[in-house]
Amino acid sequence: MKKRVTEMKKVTSLLIGFSLIISSLLIQGCATDKLYVKKDFSSLAPIKVIRYETPGIERSTKTETLLITTAVIALPGGSALLLLNDAYCEARGKEMQEKIPDFGLLVMNKFIEKVKNEIPDFPPLSVECESVDKDYIESSTLVAFKVKRVAYGFLDPLRGSGNNFTSKTVVTMKDPQGNVLWQRKFVYLSENFDRAKEIDEFEADDARLLKEEMHFAAEQTAADFISHLNGDIPEEKAI
């Protein structure tokens, strides 16, 4: 019994240390929204649109969420344990991954469609359909989409509550020198659109409702990006 307690203390100490390090990285790595102030879209040409690889979808039940939430509350810097939970929940969602569309591709395609329909003076877009690695370089204006998180089920209180589908996506536009001209992040949560469902509902009938929710979420994400690009959403109200 004494040996088991000692081992548990060692694990707890390691988790605390790891969580403090990751918490620091999380604080430094948060994307900040930036409005596009020039209002002259023609000067952006030529424009290349890319997307980074979409992370695997996370699946979490109520029991799993409550367990990790207890750890978050109990340990100093425990919010970083959410990263450990993400890795666990992504593994739990691996089977679903083969059934669903690529969310990053959905968002990118919806955005391109809306740009053509809603910003007629926007320059033509050159699109890289396949995902690229983080070191991708382009000698033109670059519009890049990065999905930070895709998850469904019973989510942790810090990033949703109850049964939901959620996604966090960042779009960044840079000039050829790498300067950020525009940036926006958007977090989608089913309950904010009165579309929350039980995990069994999302998964039924070959995940039909989950797929529908992902298409709807991509639509809302792209719509938010277009509004922000047009200056219709004040920067201080960014999610």
SS3 (DSSP) at 49: strand
- CA–CA distance, 32 with 238 (Å, rounded to integer): 9
- Strand residue runs (E) in 175-227: 180-189
Region 157-174 average pLDDT = 82
Mean pLDDT of the chain: 80
Is 90 exceeded by the pLDDT of residue 9? no
How long, in residues, is the chain?
A: 239
* Cα(190)–Cα(90) distance, integer angstroms: 19
Average pLDDT over residues 134-157: 89
pLDDT-wise least confident of 27-31, 61-65, 210-214, 221-225 = 27-31
Protein fold of 31-57+93-237 = Rossmann fold (3.40.50)
231: left (phi over 0), alpha (psi -120 to 50) or beta: left
Whether the per-residue pLDDT at 160 is higher than 90: the answer is: no
pLDDT at position 118 over 90: yes
**What confidence tier does 60 reach under pLDDT thresholds 50, 70, 90?**
confident
Neighbours of 137 (CB within 10 A): 8
Instruction: Give 200 or 13, the one with higher predicted confidence.
Output: 200
Whole-angstrom distance, CA of residue 90 vs CA of residue 98: 13
Give the pLDDT of residue 68.
Answer: 53
In sequence order, the 6+-apart residues with CB closer than 8 A to the CB of 133 are: 52, 53
Is the confidence at residue 70, as pLDDT, over 70? no
Give the H/E segment covering residue 83.
helix 81-92
Omega cis (within 30) before 157? no
- Each domain of the chain, given as residue ranges in start order, spans 1-28+58-92, 31-57+93-237
How does residue 154 score in pLDDT terms, banded at 50, 70 and 90?
confident
Confidence of residue 39 (pLDDT cuts 50, 70, 90): confident
Decide if pLDDT at 134 tops 50: yes
Dihedral pair phi/psi, residue 114, rounded to 5°: -70, -35
Q: Which pTM value belongs to this model?
A: 0.78
